[in-house]
Amino acid sequence: MSNNKNKKQKQSSAFTFWIIGLVAVIIIGFIFLANGKKEDTAAVHEMDYKSQPYIGEKSAPVQIVEFGDYKCPVCKTFEENFFPAIKSELVDTGKAQFYFMNYSFINVDSIRSAKFAESVYQELGNETFWKFHELLFSKQPDDHKYEKEDIFTDEFLEKTLKEIANEADVKKVVASFKEGNSEEHWNKDMKTAEELAVSGTPSLFVNGKKFEGNTMDDLKKMVDEAAKEK
């Protein structure tokens, strides 16, 4: 019993709880690993948004960035339960643009899937990228025992893309991926994550400042404050 108790304590300390609405309590959390020194969370960082997949109007005054890993189970929960609220309340209303950047650290197929998704964005554009992005998270196994197993293989990724793209487009993406054309873009994301001291996923930044809140209301407040500073 004590081992189970210790295990539960470790798990709860690794996540922050996101509360959506008054009834549904959804464990979304952020994974924060020790860095040896405390980060200045009030710092604002310059970020390069060029050539990054995004949704939202170009005229939006605020940029929200998620650093994520396609093998991260908490990212999947975020995608399914928290992102829809961000889209409807902040993106669709013209308040913010939402960007996704890679922080691939869980397993070898974290990196492979990130680079493949980058190839989808480069070859087929923003709209297809987001369809693939959503589909890939939906295919992440619910059983966490697969987290450290190599399941997002080349074949798996290609088969997944075929669900939303025609044969010619799939071949184009696969060829680009195999040629390593997405390497530079993935490296750029990882370098940005390192510069920002990102240590877990999902991590959010609002106009270059790390989001440390716990609820959707916290995020909306931060976005409103960021818009006023423009």
For 163-204, the pLDDT digits (tens) are 999 999 999 999 999 999 999 999 999 999 999 999 999 999
- Cα 144 to Cα 17: distance, rounded to the nearest angstrom: 19
What does the pLDDT read at residue 210? Answer: 97
The pLDDT value recorded for residue 16 is: 35
| In the chain, domain spans | 2-228
d(CA 55, CA 78): 16
pLDDT at 25: 36
List, for the chain, all residue ranges whose pLDDT scores fall below the cut of 70: 1-42
Nearest Cα to Cα of residue 121 among 176, 159, 191, 71: 176
So what's the pLDDT on residue 128?
A: 98
Query: Can you give the pLDDT at residue 42?
Result: 58
| Maximum Cα interatomic distance, the chain, rounded to a whole number of Å | 57
pLDDT at position 9: 41
* Fold (CATH) for 2-228: Glutaredoxin (3.40.30)
